Protein backbone atom coordinates (compact mmCIF):
# COMPACT_ATOMS: atom_id res chain seq x y z
CA UNK A 1 0.00 0.00 0.00
CA UNK A 2 1.47 3.34 -0.99
CA UNK A 3 1.24 6.76 0.66
CA UNK A 4 -1.37 7.92 -1.88
CA UNK A 5 -3.77 5.16 -0.76
CA UNK A 6 -3.24 5.87 2.92
CA UNK A 7 -4.00 9.53 2.37
CA UNK A 8 -7.17 8.80 0.45
CA UNK A 9 -8.40 6.34 3.07
CA UNK A 10 -7.70 8.78 5.94
CA UNK A 11 -9.50 11.63 4.23
CA UNK A 12 -12.46 9.41 3.50
CA UNK A 13 -12.74 8.29 7.11
CA UNK A 14 -12.70 11.86 8.45
CA UNK A 15 -15.24 13.03 5.91
CA UNK A 16 -17.52 10.09 6.70
CA UNK A 17 -17.29 10.74 10.45
CA UNK A 18 -18.17 14.39 10.05
CA UNK A 19 -21.11 13.57 7.77
CA UNK A 20 -22.56 10.83 9.95
CA UNK A 21 -21.98 12.52 13.36
CA UNK A 22 -19.80 9.77 14.79
CA UNK A 23 -17.87 6.61 14.04
CA UNK A 24 -19.89 4.13 12.11
CA UNK A 25 -22.76 6.66 11.64
CA UNK A 26 -24.59 5.41 14.71
CA UNK A 27 -24.18 8.30 17.19
CA UNK A 28 -26.90 10.82 17.99
CA UNK A 29 -24.43 13.25 19.47
CA UNK A 30 -22.10 15.59 17.66
CA UNK A 31 -18.66 14.31 16.68
CA UNK A 32 -15.63 16.49 16.44
CA UNK A 33 -12.31 16.03 14.76
CA UNK A 34 -9.36 16.09 17.10
CA UNK A 35 -7.60 19.39 17.29
CA UNK A 36 -4.48 19.48 15.23
CA UNK A 37 -5.03 16.01 13.59
CA UNK A 38 -2.92 15.37 10.53
CA UNK A 39 -5.00 14.48 7.47
CA UNK A 40 -3.46 13.76 4.12
CA UNK A 41 -4.77 15.51 1.00
CA UNK A 42 -3.18 13.15 -1.44
CA UNK A 43 0.34 14.51 -1.35
CA UNK A 44 3.33 12.50 -0.35
CA UNK A 45 3.70 14.31 2.97
CA UNK A 46 1.16 14.38 5.78
CA UNK A 47 -0.06 17.97 6.24
CA UNK A 48 -2.18 19.17 9.25
CA UNK A 49 -5.68 19.92 8.14
CA UNK A 50 -7.49 22.98 9.60
CA UNK A 51 -10.59 21.15 10.71
CA UNK A 52 -13.14 22.79 13.07
CA UNK A 53 -12.66 21.53 16.63
CA UNK A 54 -16.30 21.58 17.72
CA UNK A 55 -18.68 21.24 14.77
CA UNK A 56 -21.88 19.58 15.93
CA UNK A 57 -23.96 17.85 13.32
CA UNK A 58 -27.53 16.63 13.65
CA UNK A 59 -27.84 13.04 12.64
CA UNK A 60 -31.49 13.00 11.78
CA UNK A 61 -34.42 15.33 11.45
CA UNK A 62 -36.16 14.05 14.60
CA UNK A 63 -33.45 15.58 16.79
CA UNK A 64 -33.22 18.91 15.03
CA UNK A 65 -35.00 20.83 17.83
CA UNK A 66 -33.56 18.94 20.80
CA UNK A 67 -30.76 20.56 22.86
CA UNK A 68 -27.38 19.05 22.57
CA UNK A 69 -25.49 17.46 25.44
CA UNK A 70 -23.28 20.54 25.67
CA UNK A 71 -26.32 22.81 26.04
CA UNK A 72 -27.73 20.51 28.73
CA UNK A 73 -24.48 20.51 30.64
CA UNK A 74 -24.26 24.32 30.38
CA UNK A 75 -27.82 24.66 31.70
CA UNK A 76 -27.02 22.30 34.56
CA UNK A 77 -24.01 24.44 35.48
CA UNK A 78 -26.14 27.63 35.50
CA UNK A 79 -28.75 26.01 37.75
CA UNK A 80 -26.02 24.75 40.04
CA UNK A 81 -24.54 28.25 40.35
CA UNK A 82 -27.96 29.82 41.01
CA UNK A 83 -29.30 27.34 43.53
CA UNK A 84 -26.34 25.39 44.80
CA UNK A 85 -28.03 22.22 43.60
CA UNK A 86 -27.11 19.98 40.69
CA UNK A 87 -29.45 18.59 38.12
CA UNK A 88 -31.13 19.64 34.91
CA UNK A 89 -34.73 19.67 36.17
CA UNK A 90 -35.01 23.50 36.31
CA UNK A 91 -36.23 25.26 33.21
CA UNK A 92 -35.00 28.51 31.85
CA UNK A 93 -36.95 31.55 33.09
CA UNK A 94 -38.26 29.71 36.17
CA UNK A 95 -37.18 30.52 39.74
CA UNK A 96 -35.06 27.63 40.99
CA UNK A 97 -36.44 25.70 43.92
CA UNK A 98 -34.60 26.21 47.24
CA UNK A 99 -32.49 23.37 48.57
CA UNK A 100 -34.30 20.75 50.58
CA UNK A 101 -32.40 21.60 53.77
CA UNK A 102 -33.29 25.32 53.66
CA UNK A 103 -35.82 26.16 56.41
CA UNK A 104 -39.04 27.83 55.40
CA UNK A 105 -39.36 31.58 55.90
CA UNK A 106 -40.41 32.34 59.45
CA UNK A 107 -43.91 33.68 59.85
CA UNK A 108 -43.88 37.08 61.57
CA UNK A 109 -45.13 36.91 65.10
CA UNK A 110 -48.39 38.56 65.96
CA UNK A 111 -48.06 41.95 67.57
CA UNK A 112 -47.76 41.76 71.28
CA UNK A 113 -50.71 43.11 73.25
CA UNK A 114 -50.31 46.57 74.71
CA UNK A 115 -49.45 46.02 78.36
CA UNK A 116 -48.97 49.66 79.22
CA UNK A 117 -52.44 50.10 80.76
CA UNK A 118 -51.85 47.13 83.04
CA UNK A 119 -48.41 48.36 84.07
CA UNK A 120 -49.77 51.88 84.62
CA UNK A 121 -52.58 50.47 86.79
CA UNK A 122 -50.09 48.53 88.94
CA UNK A 123 -47.82 51.54 89.37
CA UNK A 124 -50.78 53.77 90.10
CA UNK A 125 -51.89 51.29 92.76
CA UNK A 126 -48.47 51.59 94.42
CA UNK A 127 -48.79 55.38 94.56
CA UNK A 128 -52.36 55.15 95.85
CA UNK A 129 -51.46 52.65 98.55
CA UNK A 130 -48.66 54.91 99.75
CA UNK A 131 -51.03 57.86 99.91
CA UNK A 132 -53.66 55.88 101.84
CA UNK A 133 -51.46 53.86 104.17
CA UNK A 134 -48.90 56.49 105.14
CA UNK A 135 -49.46 58.57 108.24
CA UNK A 136 -52.18 61.17 108.32
CA UNK A 137 -52.82 64.17 108.18
CA UNK A 138 -51.43 65.67 104.97
CA UNK A 139 -48.68 67.53 106.79
CA UNK A 140 -47.43 64.20 108.25
CA UNK A 141 -47.29 62.67 104.78
CA UNK A 142 -45.30 65.62 103.47
CA UNK A 143 -42.83 65.35 106.32
CA UNK A 144 -42.54 61.60 105.78
CA UNK A 145 -41.33 62.15 102.20
CA UNK A 146 -39.16 65.08 103.24
CA UNK A 147 -37.45 63.04 105.95
CA UNK A 148 -36.07 60.67 103.29
CA UNK A 149 -33.78 63.38 101.86
CA UNK A 150 -33.57 66.06 104.53
CA UNK A 151 -32.53 66.29 108.19
CA UNK A 152 -35.43 68.71 108.83
CA UNK A 153 -33.50 70.68 111.43
CA UNK A 154 -35.86 73.34 112.86
CA UNK A 155 -33.06 75.92 113.05
CA UNK A 156 -32.40 75.59 109.31
CA UNK A 157 -36.01 75.35 108.15
CA UNK A 158 -38.16 78.22 106.91
CA UNK A 159 -41.33 79.02 108.82
CA UNK A 160 -44.37 80.25 106.90
CA UNK A 161 -47.30 81.44 108.98
CA UNK A 162 -45.80 79.85 112.09
CA UNK A 163 -45.44 76.35 110.48
CA UNK A 164 -42.16 74.77 109.52
CA UNK A 165 -41.88 73.51 105.97
CA UNK A 166 -41.27 69.79 105.37
CA UNK A 167 -37.84 70.58 103.90
CA UNK A 168 -35.11 72.80 105.29
CA UNK A 169 -34.19 76.04 103.54
CA UNK A 170 -31.47 74.63 101.29
CA UNK A 171 -33.47 71.58 100.19
CA UNK A 172 -36.59 73.69 99.69
CA UNK A 173 -34.62 75.91 97.32
CA UNK A 174 -33.18 72.90 95.45
CA UNK A 175 -36.40 70.97 94.86
CA UNK A 176 -38.77 73.90 94.33
CA UNK A 177 -36.46 75.57 91.81
CA UNK A 178 -35.78 72.25 90.11
CA UNK A 179 -39.50 71.59 89.71
CA UNK A 180 -40.08 75.12 88.43
CA UNK A 181 -37.23 74.81 85.91
CA UNK A 182 -38.53 71.49 84.55
CA UNK A 183 -42.05 72.92 84.25
CA UNK A 184 -40.79 75.95 82.33
CA UNK A 185 -38.75 73.75 79.99
CA UNK A 186 -41.77 71.56 79.23
CA UNK A 187 -43.99 74.59 78.62
CA UNK A 188 -41.34 75.99 76.27
CA UNK A 189 -41.43 72.77 74.24
CA UNK A 190 -38.00 71.56 75.37
CA UNK A 191 -39.02 68.70 77.57
CA UNK A 192 -37.06 66.27 75.34
CA UNK A 193 -33.91 68.39 75.16
CA UNK A 194 -30.76 66.29 75.43
CA UNK A 195 -27.92 68.73 74.81
CA UNK A 196 -26.00 70.47 77.55
CA UNK A 197 -25.98 74.26 77.48
CA UNK A 198 -23.04 76.01 75.79
CA UNK A 199 -19.74 76.02 77.62
CA UNK A 200 -20.07 79.49 79.14
CA UNK A 201 -23.59 78.76 80.40
CA UNK A 202 -22.52 75.38 81.77
CA UNK A 203 -19.62 77.01 83.58
CA UNK A 204 -21.98 79.49 85.25
CA UNK A 205 -24.35 76.70 86.31
CA UNK A 206 -21.43 74.71 87.70
CA UNK A 207 -20.42 77.81 89.68
CA UNK A 208 -23.92 78.00 91.19
CA UNK A 209 -23.69 74.37 92.28
CA UNK A 210 -20.21 74.87 93.78
CA UNK A 211 -21.51 77.90 95.72
CA UNK A 212 -24.16 75.68 97.34
CA UNK A 213 -21.53 73.06 98.25
CA UNK A 214 -19.26 75.71 99.81
CA UNK A 215 -22.11 77.18 101.80
CA UNK A 216 -23.02 73.70 103.02
CA UNK A 217 -19.46 73.02 104.13
CA UNK A 218 -19.33 76.39 105.89
CA UNK A 219 -22.62 75.66 107.65
CA UNK A 220 -21.34 72.25 108.76
CA UNK A 221 -18.24 73.85 110.27
CA UNK A 222 -20.41 76.14 112.38
CA UNK A 223 -22.65 73.25 113.47
CA UNK A 224 -19.61 71.27 114.70
CA UNK A 225 -18.25 74.14 116.77
CA UNK A 226 -15.49 74.97 114.31
CA UNK A 227 -14.73 78.45 113.07
CA UNK A 228 -16.80 79.06 109.88
CA UNK A 229 -15.74 81.36 107.10
CA UNK A 230 -18.90 83.46 107.48
CA UNK A 231 -22.21 83.36 109.29
CA UNK A 232 -24.76 81.38 107.28
CA UNK A 233 -28.47 82.25 107.40
CA UNK A 234 -31.55 80.51 106.06
CA UNK A 235 -31.79 83.17 103.37
CA UNK A 236 -28.29 82.31 102.11
CA UNK A 237 -29.13 78.60 102.31
CA UNK A 238 -32.30 79.20 100.30
CA UNK A 239 -30.56 81.28 97.61
CA UNK A 240 -27.62 78.90 97.15
CA UNK A 241 -30.03 75.96 97.15
CA UNK A 242 -32.12 77.61 94.45
CA UNK A 243 -28.99 78.08 92.30
CA UNK A 244 -28.05 74.43 92.76
CA UNK A 245 -31.58 73.30 91.87
CA UNK A 246 -31.40 75.35 88.68
CA UNK A 247 -28.05 73.80 87.77
CA UNK A 248 -29.18 70.24 88.53
CA UNK A 249 -32.32 70.61 86.40
CA UNK A 250 -30.61 72.22 83.39
CA UNK A 251 -27.65 69.83 83.43
CA UNK A 252 -29.23 66.63 84.73
CA UNK A 253 -32.51 66.43 82.83
CA UNK A 254 -30.82 66.30 79.38
CA UNK A 255 -28.79 63.29 80.52
CA UNK A 256 -31.95 61.50 81.61
CA UNK A 257 -33.56 62.29 78.25
CA UNK A 258 -30.66 60.61 76.46
CA UNK A 259 -31.38 57.41 78.35
CA UNK A 260 -35.17 57.43 78.05
CA UNK A 261 -36.10 58.75 74.60
CA UNK A 262 -35.40 57.08 71.27
CA UNK A 263 -35.11 60.45 69.53
CA UNK A 264 -34.33 63.09 72.15
CA UNK A 265 -34.41 66.73 71.16
CA UNK A 266 -31.21 68.11 69.69
CA UNK A 267 -31.30 71.25 71.81
CA UNK A 268 -30.52 72.56 75.29
CA UNK A 269 -32.84 73.81 78.01
CA UNK A 270 -30.88 77.07 78.14
CA UNK A 271 -28.88 77.79 74.99
CA UNK A 272 -27.75 81.33 75.90
CA UNK A 273 -27.34 83.76 78.75
CA UNK A 274 -30.66 85.30 77.80
CA UNK A 275 -32.55 82.03 78.21
CA UNK A 276 -30.70 81.31 81.44
CA UNK A 277 -31.72 84.76 82.65
CA UNK A 278 -35.38 83.78 82.28
CA UNK A 279 -34.89 80.76 84.54
CA UNK A 280 -32.98 82.86 87.06
CA UNK A 281 -35.74 85.48 87.14
CA UNK A 282 -38.38 82.80 87.82
CA UNK A 283 -36.21 81.35 90.60
CA UNK A 284 -35.87 84.82 92.14
CA UNK A 285 -39.66 85.18 92.27
CA UNK A 286 -39.91 81.79 93.96
CA UNK A 287 -37.32 82.78 96.57
CA UNK A 288 -39.26 85.95 97.28
CA UNK A 289 -42.43 83.92 97.86
CA UNK A 290 -40.63 81.57 100.24
CA UNK A 291 -39.32 84.48 102.26
CA UNK A 292 -42.73 86.15 102.49
CA UNK A 293 -44.64 85.67 105.78
CA UNK A 294 -48.05 84.99 104.19
CA UNK A 295 -49.64 82.00 105.94
CA UNK A 296 -51.76 80.88 102.98
CA UNK A 297 -48.57 80.03 101.04
CA UNK A 298 -47.60 77.29 103.47
CA UNK A 299 -49.50 74.36 101.96
CA UNK A 300 -49.02 75.30 98.30
CA UNK A 301 -45.26 75.72 98.73
CA UNK A 302 -44.96 72.66 100.99
CA UNK A 303 -46.85 70.44 98.56
CA UNK A 304 -44.84 71.75 95.60
CA UNK A 305 -41.56 71.15 97.43
CA UNK A 306 -42.51 67.48 98.00
CA UNK A 307 -43.62 67.19 94.37
CA UNK A 308 -40.17 68.49 93.49
CA UNK A 309 -38.65 65.65 95.51
CA UNK A 310 -40.82 63.10 93.70
CA UNK A 311 -40.06 64.66 90.31
CA UNK A 312 -36.31 64.84 90.87
CA UNK A 313 -35.95 61.38 92.32
CA UNK A 314 -38.54 60.05 89.87
CA UNK A 315 -36.55 61.25 86.87
CA UNK A 316 -33.40 59.57 88.12
CA UNK A 317 -35.27 56.37 88.96
CA UNK A 318 -37.00 56.38 85.57
CA UNK A 319 -33.59 56.17 83.93
CA UNK A 320 -32.69 53.36 86.34
CA UNK A 321 -35.89 51.49 85.45
CA UNK A 322 -35.26 51.97 81.72
CA UNK A 323 -31.77 50.49 81.99
CA UNK A 324 -32.84 47.68 84.35
CA UNK A 325 -35.67 46.59 82.03
CA UNK A 326 -33.64 47.14 78.84
CA UNK A 327 -35.99 49.88 77.74
CA UNK A 328 -33.38 52.59 77.39
CA UNK A 329 -33.79 54.83 74.33
CA UNK A 330 -37.11 53.19 73.44
CA UNK A 331 -39.68 55.77 74.57
CA UNK A 332 -41.38 57.28 71.54
CA UNK A 333 -44.71 58.72 72.62
CA UNK A 334 -45.65 60.84 75.61
CA UNK A 335 -47.37 57.79 77.07
CA UNK A 336 -44.08 55.85 76.96
CA UNK A 337 -42.23 58.60 78.80
CA UNK A 338 -45.07 59.08 81.27
CA UNK A 339 -45.09 55.38 82.07
CA UNK A 340 -41.37 55.42 82.83
CA UNK A 341 -41.80 58.52 85.00
CA UNK A 342 -44.65 56.84 86.87
CA UNK A 343 -42.41 53.82 87.42
CA UNK A 344 -39.70 56.13 88.75
CA UNK A 345 -42.13 57.82 91.14
CA UNK A 346 -43.43 54.46 92.37
CA UNK A 347 -39.87 53.31 92.98
CA UNK A 348 -39.18 56.57 94.82
CA UNK A 349 -42.14 55.99 97.15
CA UNK A 350 -40.90 52.47 97.84
CA UNK A 351 -37.51 53.93 98.73
CA UNK A 352 -39.16 56.51 101.00
CA UNK A 353 -41.11 53.77 102.76
CA UNK A 354 -37.95 51.69 103.23
CA UNK A 355 -36.09 54.68 104.68
CA UNK A 356 -38.97 55.43 107.02
CA UNK A 357 -39.04 51.82 108.26
CA UNK A 358 -35.28 51.94 108.83
CA UNK A 359 -35.59 55.19 110.81
CA UNK A 360 -38.34 53.72 112.97
CA UNK A 361 -36.32 50.58 113.61
CA UNK A 362 -33.40 52.71 114.82
CA UNK A 363 -35.68 54.66 117.16
CA UNK A 364 -35.68 57.98 115.31
pTM above 0.95, yes or no: no
Please check whether residue 87 lies inside any domain of the structure. Answer: no
Residues 6+ apart with CB under 8 A from 70: 30, 56
Whole-number Cα distances in Å, 150 to 236, 245, 311: 17, 15, 16
Residue 26, domain extent? 1-58
Q: Looking at the structure, do residues 146 and 286 belong to the same domain, yes or no?
A: yes
Note the Cα 334 to chain centre separation in Å: 16
Q: Looking at the structure, do residues 51 and 141 belong to the same domain, yes or no?
A: no
Q: Looking at the structure, do residues 237 and 349 belong to the same domain, yes or no?
A: yes
Q: Looking at the structure, do residues 39 and 142 belong to the same domain, yes or no?
A: no
* pLDDT, one tens digit for every residue, the chain (364 residues): 444 444 444 444 444 444 444 444 444 444 444 444 433 344 444 444 444 444 444 444 444 444 454 554 444 444 444 444 444 444 555 555 555 544 444 445 556 677 778 888 888 888 888 888 888 899 999 999 999 888 889 999 999 888 899 999 999 999 999 999 999 999 988 889 999 999 999 999 999 999 999 999 998 887 777 888 888 899 999 999 999 999 999 999 999 999 999 998 889 999 889 999 999 999 999 999 999 878 899 999 999 999 999 999 999 999 999 999 998 899 898 888 889 999 999 999 999 999 888 888 876 5
Please check whether residue 152 lies inside any domain of the structure. Answer: yes
Q: Looking at the structure, do residues 324 and 196 belong to the same domain, yes or no?
A: yes
56: left (phi over 0), alpha (psi -120 to 50) or beta: beta
Contact 172, 304 (CB under 8 A): no
Residues 6+ apart with CB under 8 A from 14: 33, 37, 39, 49, 51
Number of compact structural domains in the chain: 2
Rounded CA separation 226/197 (Å): 38
Amino acid sequence: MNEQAIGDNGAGLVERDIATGGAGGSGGSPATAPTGSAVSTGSADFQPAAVATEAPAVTNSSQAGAPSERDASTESFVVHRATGKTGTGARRGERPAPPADTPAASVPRAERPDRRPVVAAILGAVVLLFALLSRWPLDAKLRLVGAACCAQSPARTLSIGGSLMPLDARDAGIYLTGLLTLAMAVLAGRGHASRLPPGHVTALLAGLFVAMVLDGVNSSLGARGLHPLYHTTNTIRLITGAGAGLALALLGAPMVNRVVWRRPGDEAFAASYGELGGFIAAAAVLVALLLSPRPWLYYPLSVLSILGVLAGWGLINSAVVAVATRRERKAVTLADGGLLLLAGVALTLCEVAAIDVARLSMGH
